[in-house]
Amino acid sequence: MEKFITPLQCLNDIVTSCTEYLKIQEQEKTKRQEITTREKITIAEIQAKRDLLINSLECSFDERAKNFNSLFQLVERAIDNEDNQQLSLALQGIITLAQSSPFDSLTDLSRVKAALDDPNHVWEL
């Protein structure tokens, strides 16, 4: 047997549905705002970490350039002074420095991630 729906029940269902819709709409709007906020925070964190990494690499390459310059000056002085022992040490220093890479510390990505996440981490180059 079919149940007869009164106009009042129909209106009540429409009001209830509209109220539920508006409630869900507001909840979803709040969720979208939270997502947008998290997105902005995450992007800012990524940019800060990127800047830190780029700065660290720039400092590392600057330091390497200074070290190479110093070692080549030692080579020149050793040649001028005809000091083969000093020349050998300076050339060995150049070879050692050339064989090392500022990217060596980046090979272990989990270690890099942990260092980037740690605001108190001191980058040693």
Q: What is the pLDDT of residues 12-44, one digit of tens each?
A: 999 999 999 999 999 999 999 999 999 999 999
Q: How confident is the model at residue 117 (pLDDT cuts 50, 70, 90)?
A: confident
pLDDT at 77: 93
pTM for the model: 0.51
- In order, the DSSP letters of the chain are -PPPPPHHHHHHHHHHHHHHHHHHHHHHHHHHHHHHHHHHHHHHHHHHHHHHHHHHHHHHHHHHHHHHHHHHHHHHHHHHTT-HHHHHHHHHHHHHHHH--TTGGGS-HHHHHHHHH-TT-----
> Residue 18's pLDDT is what?
94
